Amino acid sequence: MDKLVFLGRRLLQLVPVAFGVTVVVFLMLRLIPGDPVRIMLGSRATPESIASLERNLGLDKPLWEQYLVFLGNLTRGDLGTSLLYRQPVRELVLERLPATLSLVAYSALLAVAITLPLAILAARRQDRPADQAVRVGTLLSLAMPSFWVGIIFMMFFSLRLDLFPVSGLGEGLSGRIYHLFLPSLTVALSLAAILIRSLRASLLAVARADFVDTARAKGVTERRIMVHHVLRNALISTVTILGVNIGWLIGGTVVIENLFAIPGLGALMLASISGRDYPMVQGITLVFAVLVVTVNIATDLTYAIIDPRVSL
């Protein structure tokens, strides 16, 4: 019951956020210097096409009315029409969404798989060479631009060792796992660096707690203390950090999709930008925001479920 109240309150907090997000996305078109219609149409501009696009986008109406129309369309799931593909933005977005979601999920998994052993190693060997090495590793990983890391990976693993493909999605599940490995690893590395730092710190903090001394006094083995007492408690803060950073993870996929030619949302967004397909850019930005908000709520819920003390 408490959890339901929590969920309800959390969803209620979303209303102003959702409102604000739509305003930002709506106003984005106003940032275009000059006449957006002329810019969008470019060399295709004729007096007729300008007038018809203005009518289509509702630009002949006052601003607040335009916003209401925009909002009304959104509630019907209408994200507008792509100028470039002459198709509903929603269809194009839904087509590209699975590739981006696989990349995000795969990266998150890899990041956790890298984080757990390294953070535990660093915490158990605090201030010793292994810990120092992990710390230098995270420092470097956070200093490296992901698009550059991706290129280095391509040059080494794909071109030199011929282990992985340089681009694309692959066929079937195994093909996807194989094709998306390098791009996901690239995205995962910077996230892992953040997670390792936080998990290492909370492992060290939890290890000083009284209940750990109690467990040790009862004769529980060090291994069991680590897994059942320390790690379990330290993971809670790490889940939060993962949730907070999912926005980064999602943002990071845009560059990586471009680099590895993965037909996802980010790649579509960049193509739309070079094609001056602004309704598409708007629609994709909105979908990205929806993704982040959804993940954040999911994180809060996970948090409430794994930690019984939480009732925010």
Partner 1 sequence: MATTSTHAAPTARPRAAWPAVPGLRLPPTLLVGGVLLAVVVALAVMAPLLTPYGPLDQDLLNAKKPPSWGHPFGTDNFGRDVLTRVLFGARVDLLIGLVPTAITFVVGVSLGAVAGYFGGRVDAVLMRLVDIAVAFPFFVLLIALVAMLGPGLRNMIVAISLVGWISYARIVRGEVLVARQAEYVLAARTLGFGDARIIAGHLLPNVITAAIVFSMADIVLNILLGTALSFLGLGPQAPTAEWGRMIQEGRQFIASGEWWMTTFPGLAIVVVAVAFSLIGDGLADLLRVEDRV
Residues that bind partner 1 (CB under 8 A): 13, 16-17, 20-21, 24, 28-29, 31-33, 139-140, 142-148, 151-152, 154-155, 159, 166, 205, 208, 247-248, 250-252, 254-255, 258-259, 266, 269-270, 273-274, 278, 281-282, 284-285, 288-289, 291-293, 296
Of 220 and 293, nearer to partner 1 (C-beta) is 293
Residues 6+ apart with CB under 8 A from 20: none
Of 49 and 126, nearer to partner 1 (C-beta) is 126
Q: How far is the CB of 173 from partner 1 (least distance, A)?
A: 26
Q: How far is the CB of 52 from partner 1 (least distance, A)?
A: 22
Residues 93, 269: Cα–Cα separation, whole Å = 10
Residues listed for the chain: 312
Q: How far is the CB of 18 from partner 1 (least distance, A)?
A: 8
Residues 204, 201: Cα–Cα separation, whole Å = 5
CA dihedral 181→183→186→189, nearest 10 degrees, is -50
Q: How far is the CB of 156 from partner 1 (least distance, A)?
A: 10
Q: How far is the CB of 138 from partner 1 (least distance, A)?
A: 10
Q: How far is the CB of 10 from partner 1 (least distance, A)?
A: 12
Is the distance from CB of 281 to CB of 266 less than 8 angstroms?
A: no
Amino acid type, 249: L
Q: How far is the CB of 302 from partner 1 (least distance, A)?
A: 18
Residues 108, 182: Cα–Cα separation, whole Å = 13
Beta bridge partners of 88: 81
Give me the half-sphere count of Cα atoms (radius 13 Å) on the Cβ side of residue 5.
5
Of 19 and 177, nearer to partner 1 (C-beta) is 19
Of 35 and 221, nearer to partner 1 (C-beta) is 35
**Which candidate, 248, 266, 287, 246, places its Cα nearest to that of 91?**
287
Of 105 and 159, nearer to partner 1 (C-beta) is 159
CA distance to 24, 71, 140, 285, 308, per residue, from 21 (Å):
5, 11, 34, 10, 32
Of 24 and 306, nearer to partner 1 (C-beta) is 24
Residues 29, 26: Cα–Cα separation, whole Å = 7
Token pair recorded at residue 145: 């631009």
Of 33 and 42, nearer to partner 1 (C-beta) is 33
